[in-house]
Amino acid sequence: KQEVTQIPAALSVPEGENLVLNCSFTDSAIYNLQWFRQDPGKGLTSLLLIQSSQREQTSGRLNASLDKSSGRSTLYIAASQPGDSATYLCAVKLGSYIPTFGRGTSLIVHP
Amino acid sequence: DGGITQSPKYLFRKEGQNVTLSCEQNLNHDAMYWYRQDPGQGLRLIYYSQIVNDFQKGDIAEGYSVSREKKESFPLTVTSAQKNPTAFYLCATNLDTEAFFGQGTRLTVV
């Protein structure tokens, strides 16, 4: 069974820092990997979707990379802002199976 | 705009009551999912439906029931058999590609 781990569980940084959030998975035969953002008391919003054949995806200040051989994905946030404060979750999908979610990294960016 | 609507946003349940959470989508997606989220936990799958009139149990289906009579709607009933229903419930569609989530329903037992 696929296991997805996100480290760190929580992170607090000053505004302007570049950040790296990690997502590791145990089965490298993935179909895709998706990063989400969740604000308190809200649903999940999709940030980036990386297909198995891709190495990275970029959207604005966000860059997600995928290394299947090492079972890792990283979400890079450039020049962090207080508005980036949220919980970030990754979800890993194997073939036709339902995606497995990590527990998330809770990020606080303070002014 | 296309999206997923969950209602109500907050729901209170008395002991022994059944309550139903609504999930409606206008994205024309075939697959719909229900998740439960507890503090410090990941998302846990309750039920999912890949086509109208068909649904499958997820990892924690006990004490819950669903129906899928229309493509747009996938209501979740929390029955009295669910002993610890207080949680945040999320409905989602299209998990095969780019996933869409509703804004959630927070259920509290009083």
DSSP string, A14-70: ETT--EEEEEEES----SEEEEEEE-TTS-EEEEEEEETT-SEEEETTEEEEEETTT
Task: Write out pLDDT tens, residues A17-44.
Answer: 999 999 999 998 899 999 999 999 999 9
pLDDT at position B88 = 97
B71 CA to chain A: closest CA distance, Å?
19
List chain A residues with CB under 8 Å of B99. 34, 36, 44, 46, 91, 99
Q: What is the mean pLDDT of residues B48-73?
A: 96
Q: What is the mean pLDDT of residues A76-101?
A: 93
Give the model's confidence band at B83: pLDDT under 50 very low, under 70 low, under 90 confident, else very high.
Answer: confident
Taking a C-beta distance cutoff of 8 angstroms, is the pair B27, B100 a contact?
yes
* In the predicted structure, residue A96 carries a pLDDT above the cut 90: no
Using CA atoms, how far apart are residues B21 and A10, in angstroms rounded to an integer? 31
* In the predicted structure, residue A89 carries a pLDDT above the cut 90: yes
Give the model's confidence band at B42: pLDDT under 50 very low, under 70 low, under 90 confident, else very high.
Answer: confident
Q: What is the largest CA-CA distance in chain A?
A: 43
Question: Among B95, B96, B101, whose Cβ lies nearest the Cβ of A43?
Answer: B101
Using CA atoms, how far apart are residues A57 and A67, in angstroms rounded to an integer? 12
Nearest CA in chain B to A104: B42
Using CA atoms, how far apart are residues A76 and A35, in angstroms rounded to an integer? 11
Taking a C-beta distance cutoff of 8 angstroms, is the pair A4, A100 a contact?
yes
List chain B residues with CB under 8 Å of A53. none
pLDDT at position B26 = 95
